[in-house]
């Protein structure tokens, strides 16, 4: 019996060490990321960095890291951009690699507002969907490609936490997207995914905001198109957006940005749906800018939407959801 206590301690210590090895949560969030020096940027094989290769000072003040992992049959490559002087800022995300203006806007936002930006690199050619074969987010069955912004779910803990583990306490998640012109069935060949207008009314020649939408008040000409909108989510079960969310939306519209309160019942696997259903305490804003040939024009709309959100919805260090 004399030797039992030390043996138990040894066994417990061994078990604890083993458990630490097994548990990714015991590691710090930074362990999984590999720092990339400027001399090695080309090894990332990222079209967005290649496109901006000749832009002077494009990544000044920004440190770059990458993370690669496989989950549910898909190989992911994430690239992280951190404001070295001000890492404590929003978590920016660009899940769609084919939305070039959103990437450029994210780098500008990291510089302007601080924080950390994460882009999905879907490989050469900057595809929208990741190739592979497996379960993608909330979709039933297996698929040969996965939309990154449908892959946030409890069934994809590696992918989901790869983003959210990089958020600084109290900071919002801000997603940047571009949106194709119009909408299918608009009678003008449109095929965008999101619009601020009520589609049925639009087909009748009437312009009014969709359910949960607020048309921009006196928008600048470049913000006046119906494909450029900011949005936040609210739970369908709540019946209507909570008071601070409603104020936030009105403030954004008052700043000249079309705004949509996205009503969420069942998750579609997007970050907005995932957060409002699983971590509603994390503030989230989504900026959709109309895709245009002129990337700088499209990215300037992202900047305007981000400013409207940060000015109208953030008080102190406590953003409204």
- Could you list the residues that contact Zn ion (CB under 5 A)? 96, 99, 177
Q: Which is nearer to Zn ion, 77 or 96 (CB)?
A: 96
Q: Which is nearer to Zn ion, 32 or 99 (CB)?
A: 99
Shortest distance, position 293 Cβ to Zn ion, whole Å: 18
Q: Which is nearer to Zn ion, 139 or 247 (CB)?
A: 139
Q: Which is nearer to Zn ion, 96 or 210 (CB)?
A: 96
CA 103 from chain center: how many Å? 11
Q: Which is nearer to Zn ion, 32 or 129 (CB)?
A: 129
Q: Which is nearer to Zn ion, 129 or 177 (CB)?
A: 177
Q: Which is nearer to Zn ion, 96 or 111 (CB)?
A: 96
| Residue/partner pairs of 46-53 with CB below 8 Å, 24 or more apart | 46/79, 46/119, 46/121, 47/97, 47/121, 47/124, 47/125, 47/126, 48/97, 48/100, 48/103, 48/104, 48/119, 48/121, 48/126, 49/79, 51/100, 52/104, 52/107
Strands (E), 24-129: 34-36, 62-71, 74-83, 91-94, 116-120
Shortest distance, position 303 Cβ to Zn ion, whole Å: 17
Shortest distance, position 219 Cβ to Zn ion, whole Å: 22
For residue 223, count other CB atoms closer than 10 A to its CB.
21
List of residues 6+ apart from 281 with CB closer than 8 A: 321
Shortest distance, position 72 Cβ to Zn ion, whole Å: 21
Shortest distance, position 193 Cβ to Zn ion, whole Å: 8
Tokens of 188: 């003008």
For residue 49, count other CB atoms closer than 10 A to its CB.
21
Shortest distance, position 99 Cβ to Zn ion, whole Å: 5
Q: Helix 243-254 and helix 295-313: axis angle, to 10°? A: 130
Give the per-residue SS3 of 146-185: ECHHHCCCCCCHHHHHHHHCCCCCCCCEEEEEEECCCCCC
CA 16 – CA 200 distance, rounded (Å): 61
Q: Which is nearer to Zn ion, 32 or 304 (CB)?
A: 304
* CA angle in degrees (0–180, nearest 5) for 187-227-235: 110
Shortest distance, position 214 Cβ to Zn ion, whole Å: 22
Shortest distance, position 264 Cβ to Zn ion, whole Å: 17
């Amino acid at each position: 019996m004399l030797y039992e206590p030390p043996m138990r301690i040894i066994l417990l210590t061994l078990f604890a060490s083993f458990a630490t090895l097994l548990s990714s949560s015991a590691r710090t969030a930074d362990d999984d990321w590999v720092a990339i020096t400027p001399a090695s940027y080309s090894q990332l094989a990222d079209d967005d960095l290649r496109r901006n290769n000749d832009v002077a000072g494009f990544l000044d003040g920004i440190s770059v890291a990458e993370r690669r992992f496989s989950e549910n049959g898909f190989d992911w490559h994430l690239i992280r951009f951190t404001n070295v002087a001000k890492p404590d800022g929003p978590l920016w995300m660009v899940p769609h690699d084919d939305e070039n203006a959103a990437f450029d806007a994210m780098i500008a936002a990291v510089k302007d507002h601080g924080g950390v930006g994460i882009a999905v690199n879907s490989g050469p050619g900057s595809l929208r969907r990741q190739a592979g074969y497996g379960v993608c987010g909330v979709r039933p069955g297996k698929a040969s490609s996965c939309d990154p912004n449908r892959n946030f779910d409890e069934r994809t803990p590696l992918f989901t936490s790869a983003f959210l583990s990089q958020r600084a306490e109290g900071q919002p998640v801000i997603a940047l997207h571009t949106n194709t012109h119009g909408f299918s069935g608009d009678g003008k060949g449109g095929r965008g995914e999101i619009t601020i207008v009520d589609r049925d009314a639009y087909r009748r020649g009437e312009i009014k905001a969709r359910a949960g939408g607020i048309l921009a008040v006196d928008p600048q000409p470049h913000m006046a198109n119906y494909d450029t909108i900011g949005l936040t989510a609210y739970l369908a079960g709540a019946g209507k957006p909570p008071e601070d969310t409603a104020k936030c939306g009105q403030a954004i519209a008052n700043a000249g940005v079309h705004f949509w309160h996205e009503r969420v019942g069942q998750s579609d696997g997007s970050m907005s749906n995932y957060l409002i259903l699983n971590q509603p305490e994390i503030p989230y804003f989504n900026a959709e800018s109309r895709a245009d040939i002129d990337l700088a024009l499209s990215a300037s709309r992202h900047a305007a939407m981000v400013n409207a959100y940060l000015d109208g919805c953030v008080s102190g260090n406590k953003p409204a959801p």
